[in-house]
Amino acid sequence: MRAMVLMGTAPVDTAPLRLIEMPDPEPGPGEVRLRVRVCGICRTDLHVIEGELPPVRLPLVPGHQIVGVVDRCGPGTGRFRPGDRVGVAWLRRTCGACPDCRRGDENLCAQSSYTGYHEHGGYAELAVVPEAFAYPIPDVFSDEEAAPLLCAGIIGYRALRRSEVRPGERLGLFGFGSSAHITLQVALHRGCQVYVSTRGEAHRALARQLGAIWVGGADEPPPVPLDGAILFAPAGELVPPALRALRPGGTLVVAGIYLSPVPAMTYKEHLFHEKRLTSVEANTRRDGEDLLREAAAIPLRPRVQVFTLPQANHALQALKHDGIDGTGLLRVATA
């Protein structure tokens, strides 16, 4: 199979991925193999490729927003059959037995592993996944529309849930990339008022077009106190202004897997009045199932910019430099 492979961590501006031929993977017990149609690109891919997340496997095929068709099933499978269209997300495997897993918090499992990080991902013509961690794709979505939901959508959905913002309340989004543009659509469908602070006029224009009630610069304070907010930008310097923007009792959720250092804060200015600062780590399968169900009912329409598989380095460079509105994805094969 053809695959874009990372041999060693390096800045994406150096085009570190190489297009090579690899042996076709075979599904093991409980696993299915997909012929990959599309794979979304994600800021987590940047953190993996550039080494902000410490490498755990090299060489590595990145990518964890995969939509494909099952073409082979390993021993002991039965949930999917050849020809089924399924999706693969970041969370790949958990132990299922630790206190976190038993409590329903499998995203916190210390033995969890991740697609495109611990195991090869979707920047390739074939991918293998445990069938218990794959998702049936609703028919209402094309391949291109479904791929962004499998990480950007799921993480934004979990962050929205943890923000505890209720229908009709004010939600702030700091940063407006792939995940935020999906989260905004879910929040608006629920009747929330959405305020967006982000750098880049193209991102601000998209936020306005999608229905944000107010749009400003990255560190520009919203005009009214927020009931809750989500920080999508991996910029720790935005934590203090985001906390200041909350009403008493409001919650700020940090949604990224990586965040630059947070500057010093004062208790009275940033955290007093029972404000809450929390984070999101990966997702549970329930998050993915709930997101796909609600997104199909809306129906949610992610904005995508399509690249070919050999253009993966170019696509990642565009992502790093805010050159993509919505979600970038790699088209690996056609239906």
CATH code of the domain containing 265? 3.40.50.720
**Spatial distance between the Cα atoms of 49 and 89, rounded to a whole number of angstroms:** 18
Angle subtended at Cα 181 by Cα 180 and Cα 186, rounded to the nearest 5 degrees: 90
Note whether 323 and 268 are same-domain residues.
Answer: no
Alpha-carbon distance values, 82 to 78, 120, 143, 286, 326 (Å): 10, 21, 17, 24, 31
Region 214-219: mean pLDDT is 92
Note whether 139 and 270 are same-domain residues.
Answer: no
Q: How confident is the model at residue 46 (pLDDT cuts 50, 70, 90)?
A: very high
Cβ atoms of 138 and 292 closer than 8 Å: yes
Note whether 142 and 57 are same-domain residues.
Answer: yes
Cβ atoms of 40 and 116 closer than 8 Å: no
Region 259-279: mean pLDDT is 95
**Host domain of residue 116:** 2-151+282-331
Angle subtended at Cα 227 by Cα 225 and Cα 231, rounded to the nearest 5 degrees: 95
Note whether 117 and 94 are same-domain residues.
Answer: yes
- What pLDDT is recorded for position 220? 87
Cβ atoms of 33 and 331 closer than 8 Å: no
Region 180-204: mean pLDDT is 95
Note whether 80 and 201 are same-domain residues.
Answer: no
Indicate the burial class of 142 (C-beta count within 10 angstroms; 0-12, 13-18, 19 or more).
middle
65 is written with which tokens? 């927003």
Cβ atoms of 240 and 254 closer than 8 Å: no
- pLDDT tens, residue by residue, 274-308: 999 999 999 999 999 999 999 999 999 999 999 99
Q: How confident is the model at residue 334 (pLDDT cuts 50, 70, 90)?
A: low
Q: Determine the residue type at 330.
A: L
Cβ atoms of 21 and 2 closer than 8 Å: yes
- Does 333 have pLDDT greater than 90? no
Q: Which residue in this structure is represented by tokens 């404000």?
A: 275
Element (H, E) at 331: strand 327-331
Q: Pairing state of beta strands 246-254 and 226-231?
A: parallel
Percent of the chain with pLDDT strictly greater than 90: 96
**Whether this model's pTM surpasses 0.85:** yes
Q: How confident is the model at residue 272 (pLDDT cuts 50, 70, 90)?
A: very high
Q: How many structural domains is the chain composed of? A: 2
Average pLDDT in the chain: 96
- What pLDDT is recorded for position 271? 94
Note whether 147 and 50 are same-domain residues.
Answer: yes
Number of CB atoms found within 10 A of residue 9's CB: 17
